[in-house]
Structure 1
């Protein structure tokens, strides 16, 4: 359910870009981000860097398209969105608070958080998402700069990259748990 909520604004944006204007797609995605933030606040959860950053990005880009450059191509808009999400993710790494960490802390128990490999897994999953964002950017760049390349090719790359990262996000923690198991009682700092 969490991965669905995380991806909902981006999936909605991508689908709407196929059938309507960039302006409507961007503002709808921003509204979905704000709705998810509202759900988190209502549930007493933290406001996520990815959600808040994406809401700002979608709103700012929507305003730019509406007020400054309504002729900005769909491919260019998608490229800017993917680059913006990559920037949010990289900033989260630079400040040593990978965006995946906020979601992970809400999904796992305190014992799991204290395991030695927990932060390593969070960083690895964040880097997997960065790789997906880079592949999505490449797909958008190809549709802009390679004449005759079908528009659906960029969508296929984005879909494959996003779904691969989502799969890795769910698979890797299960793999670590199967490989390393649950640590014995009193093996973690702070447990007695």
Structure 2
């Protein structure tokens, strides 16, 4: 999965992260922007699988709670809820043996390889990395909400975790392909 495609798949969440900060108005705008992006990406099939559904459900529910009911509990806990929704969605895909990264990896993989055990294992690993990252970010969001660490530390740790997961997601499959190509070149010719 290329880094750009990875960013695109999380566009609603990234938009929400960037926009929804500091004021209630920005939180409301961020929720609406993320919900609109989620719907548009789903309709255009730019977004797929359980992460799409998690986004649609989360942003619909949060938008209704925040804008429709001015629910202060939801507003206070948005960071925990958003990261928690992604973590739960990711872990569920592993529990049902449908790692969410498969939906994206299949876009640029020969269909003949879709059931290859190595392809499946790689996606299980990538999804586990993301599920762990979202879980860590849920804890970080909780620590931020409870003022257990300085805000800049929480943000730095959260962004570092996300960037590390994204970099690993781009690097690891390419690394395996290069390693397989080297092994294939070194293999002796049958006589």
Q: TM-score range by the shorter chain?
A: 0.7 to 0.9
Which residue of structure 2 aligns with residue 120 of structure 1?
121
Asked if the contact 1:5–1:36 (Cα under 8 Å) also holds between the matched residues in 2, the reply is no
- TM-score, with normalisation over the residues of structure 1? 0.82
Deviation readout 1:29-59 (Å, 9 max, x if unpaired): 1111112112217xxxx84221122111111
d(CA) in 2 for partners of 1:137, 1:152: 16
| Cα shift at 1:151 | 2.2
Name structure 1 gaps, 5 residues minimum.
185-192
Cα RMSD (Å) of the superposition? 2.3
Equivalent in 39, 42, 60 of residue 37 of structure 1 = 42
2: distance between equivalents of 1:182 and 1:141?
45
* Matches of 2:88 and 2:115, distance apart in 1: 28
Query: In the alignment, what sits opposite 1:153?
Result: 153
**Within 5 A, what are the aligned runs for 1:45-124?**
47-72=48-73, 76-124=77-125
Deviation, 1:154, is: 2.2
Partner of 1:28: 33
**What does the per-residue CA deviation read over 1:46-75, in whole Å, with 9 as the maximum and x for residues that have no partner?**
842211221111111121122334324755
Paired with 1:74 and 1:65, the residues of 2 have a C-alpha distance of 6
The TM-score with structure 2 as length reference comes to 0.83
